């Protein structure tokens, strides 16, 4: 099983490096198999190290390994949303989505298993880790919108959109990664603008945020294209205007 790996190689890594190496190997396995189907032996084999070594790092077994891998993935995911506060908001959101969708693309089955639930390795702890990522993403977005005290409507809109993005990611994985990533990204940005606009009709704070955001948008940007493409469809419904 592990005899092909040159034994001296893994002596040189520090504890932290070794741990990262094992977690990376685990995440790569989770990308193609459900978490309950990945054993510590598989990780040892994938990382080219001995089984006792993996057990030394994760004495809690499969569950501990899974939670550590999940925490490492969560940290990576939270980084996706870190974006300098400059330029049109739709571009910033687009870049964050590019990183997020690349993560989804790369982690594939592991990402689905994580979000779809029902796995034997899922616990209230793993659910809390996933929820932490959602909250962090919402905070990032509200920061970019420059809202210091977001009201319940605006906050709920942002969180609803984040859940919708998760759902879209799962469907996208399920449908053999169609449409292409850049189309999916643009569409999700447009969905965000649309959700914000619908809430703006009811909520003064969201209306202010949307006005400020649209003022930063270039005419050839995502918001402009959305407005120009959607207005003709609505234009046929003159009885509503």
Which chain residues interact with a copy of itself by CB under 8 A?
Answer: 116-120, 122-128, 131, 152-153, 155-157, 159-164, 166-168, 171-172, 175, 178-179, 187, 190-191, 193-195, 197-202, 207, 210-211, 214-215, 217, 219, 223-231, 233-234, 236-237, 239-241
Q: Which is nearer to a copy of itself, 85 or 201 (CB)?
A: 201
Least gap, CB of 46 to a copy of itself (angstroms): 25
Q: Which is nearer to a copy of itself, 56 or 211 (CB)?
A: 211
**Any alpha helices (H) in the chain, and if so which ranges?**
15-30, 40-47, 51-57, 62-80, 89-116, 124-144, 152-174, 181-200, 204-215, 222-235
Least gap, CB of 236 to a copy of itself (angstroms): 5
Q: CA angle, corner 182, sides to 181 and 188, nearest 5?
A: 90
Q: Which is nearer to a copy of itself, 31 or 227 (CB)?
A: 227
As a residue count, the chain comes to 241
Least gap, CB of 115 to a copy of itself (angstroms): 9
What is the chain's percent helix, strand, coil content, to nearest 5?
75, 0, 25
Least gap, CB of 180 to a copy of itself (angstroms): 12
Dihedral pair phi/psi, residue 226, rounded to 5°: -60, -50
- Which residue is associated with the tokens 């292409």? 180
Q: Which is nearer to a copy of itself, 77 or 226 (CB)?
A: 226
Q: Which is nearer to a copy of itself, 149 or 236 (CB)?
A: 236
Least gap, CB of 39 to a copy of itself (angstroms): 19
Least gap, CB of 224 to a copy of itself (angstroms): 4
Token pair, residue 203, equals 């909520």
Write the CB contacts of 79 (distance below 8 Å, at least 6 apart in sequence).
99
Q: Which is nearer to a copy of itself, 53 or 181 (CB)?
A: 181
Token pair, residue 205, equals 């704070």
Q: CA angle, corner 185, sides to 142 and 94, nearest 5?
A: 45
């Amino acid at each position: 099983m592990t005899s092909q790996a040159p034994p001296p190689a893994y002596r040189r890594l520090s504890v932290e490096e070794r741990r990262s190496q094992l977690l990376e190997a685990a995440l790569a396995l989770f990308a193609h198999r459900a978490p309950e189907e990945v054993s510590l032996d598989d990780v040892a084999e994938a990382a080219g190290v001995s089984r006792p070594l993996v057990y030394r790092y994760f004495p809690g077994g499969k569950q501990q390994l899974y939670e550590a891998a999940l925490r490492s993935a969560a940290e990576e995911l939270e980084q996706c949303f870190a974006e300098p506060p400059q330029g049109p908001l739709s571009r910033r959101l687009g870049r964050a989505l590019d990183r997020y969708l690349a993560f989804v693309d790369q982690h594939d089955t592991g990402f689905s298993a994580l979000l779809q639930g029902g796995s034997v390795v899922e616990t209230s702890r793993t659910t809390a880790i996933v929820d932490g990522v959602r909250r962090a993403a919402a905070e990032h977005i509200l920061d970019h919108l420059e809202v210091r005290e977001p009201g319940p409507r605006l906050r709920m809109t942002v969180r609803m959109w984040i859940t919708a993005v998760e759902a879209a990611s799962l469907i996208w994985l399920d449908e053999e990664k169609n449409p292409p990533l850049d189309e999916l990204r643009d569409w999700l940005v447009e969905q965000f603008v649309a959700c914000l606009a619908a809430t703006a009709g009811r909520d003064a704070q969201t209306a202010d945020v949307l006005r400020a955001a649209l003022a930063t948008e270039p005419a050839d940007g995502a918001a402009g294209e959305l407005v120009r493409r959607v207005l003709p469809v609505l234009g046929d419904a003159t009885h509503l205007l």
